[in-house]
Amino acid sequence: MPSVDQIIAFVSPFAQAYGYIAVFVLSILEAMPLTGIVVPGEIIIVLGGFFAKTGDLNLIYVILAAGIGAIIGDFISYVLGYKFGENLLRKYGKYLFFKEEHFEKTKKLMHEHCGKSLIIGRFNKVTRAFIPFIAGSSKIPFLKFMIFNIIGGISWAIVYVGVGFIFGKSWEVASKYLGRFILIAIVLSIIIIFTYRIINKHRHIFAKYHLHVLMVNIAALYLLGKMIDDAAKGELMARIDYWINIKITVLWHPYFIKFMMAVTQIATPSTLITVSVALFLTLAYQQKIYHYFLLIFSIVGGVWIEMFMKGIVERPRPTNALFFVDNYSLPSGHATMAFIFFTMLLYSFKDDFKSAIKKKLFIAGCIFGFLLIGFSRIFLNVHWFSDVIAGFALGLFWITLLILIFKYVISTRKKTSPLQNPTDLNMIK
């Protein structure tokens, strides 16, 4: 099983060869209008600090590359604003809801609080890309601009490179206590929560329902990381795996074996994907466009992520399986795809039942479906117990993440979008 250290070792040659160039160029691009909004400069700068801690890059050189790049980028943005900014803002500002009176107020604020705007504004991704441009448009004196530009650029470089360096320093310590994959899950959780809060702060698109979805998403991600770490270290879940693997053989009756073999053969990922085609057609026929696209992304993405994770984890299967399987064990592909399929079936049609009893039976049937498939894998000893739990957790994480992503995408689309007809929006809680 490759460790995170091995993954870092794989990336290290690229960091050594192109690290300083990447930090320098992206620092320039991130400081300029338009490109600054989409270029992931902050992430690269933090990674530069991380690889400075691992010894692949020099800390001082990374700070200089980031700082000089930021100063040059701000300078270019200032020149563009000084030469073309006022005319562009007056001519096209209305299309960005930036009226002429707004420009006059902005000029006044820039002259009154130039230093504060340039230095503090650099630490915000949106304002960082436009503040130098507005400073040029407002005809801030060049010398005054450059003084605060240098202070802001160097400060920003030191802070973000320092974050990466400190993270690299604490990585080994934290991973010893938390586990490497748990630590990765925590970092991903922080990124997801931070992104959720930023989007909701500016767009207010998420309801209380989506907060619950977020909580389930984070819990599933933690559970997935826990299963992988315990399997790698031979801790609690690994010991439970071995105990269940031995005890389950007590239930090996010929009739049970035939039944579970039938279940596991019917529920192969390829079969579930084939059955999903029928579900695609049904959703398309009923014009459930939202659920149609959600199913496509959940199935295709689920297959890819499950295969990718098996290649990363490389956990061997039990040696006492009732039949031979030649790929890796964690997470269980059967469990992942069964969870995604039956959850999407439930999510798409649960509100179509008028009878409360029929609805409860339908929900129970969907839950029983993926649990039975998961149990069949454990019963036949082709998977460890934690493989199946990891598969369920992966499926839950992926579906809940897609629900949040779809909510954001739909909120940004025009009213003419096929995903935004009233029927579909009523399905999005």
DSSP codes, 168-226: HHHHHHHHHHH-HHHHHHHHHHHHHHHHHHHHHHHH----HHHHHHHHHHHHHHHHHHH
Write the CB contacts of 145 (distance below 8 Å, at least 6 apart in sequence): 78, 114, 118, 132, 135, 136
Both tokens of 180, joined, read 């490497």
d(CA 27, CA 153): 9
d(CA 406, CA 293): 9
Output the pLDDT for position 91. Answer: 63
Whether the Cβ atoms of residue 181 and residue 225 lie closer than 8 Å to each other: yes
Q: pTM here?
A: 0.57
Output the pLDDT for position 414. Answer: 46
**Amino acid residing at 51:** F
Write the CB contacts of 397 (distance below 8 Å, at least 6 apart in sequence): 217, 220, 221, 224
- Stretches where the chain sits below pLDDT 50 are 1-3, 96-97, 174-175, 177-178, 414-429
Output the pLDDT for position 334. Answer: 85
d(CA 168, CA 51): 7
d(CA 1, CA 217): 25
Q: What are the backbone angles phi and psi of residue 33, rounded to the nearest 5°?
A: -60, 150
Spell out the alpha helix ranges (H) of 54-141: 59-80, 86-92, 100-112, 114-121, 125-137
d(CA 196, CA 190): 10
Output the pLDDT for position 425. Answer: 42
Output the pLDDT for position 396. Answer: 92
Q: Which of 48, 69, 219 is nearest to 153 (CA)?
A: 69
Both tokens of 10, joined, read 């794989």
- Give Cα 21 to chain centroid, integer Å: 26
Whether the Cβ atoms of residue 377 and residue 408 lie closer than 8 Å to each other: no
Write out pLDDT tens, residues 18-47: 888 888 988 888 777 766 655 666 777 878
Output the pLDDT for position 392. Answer: 92
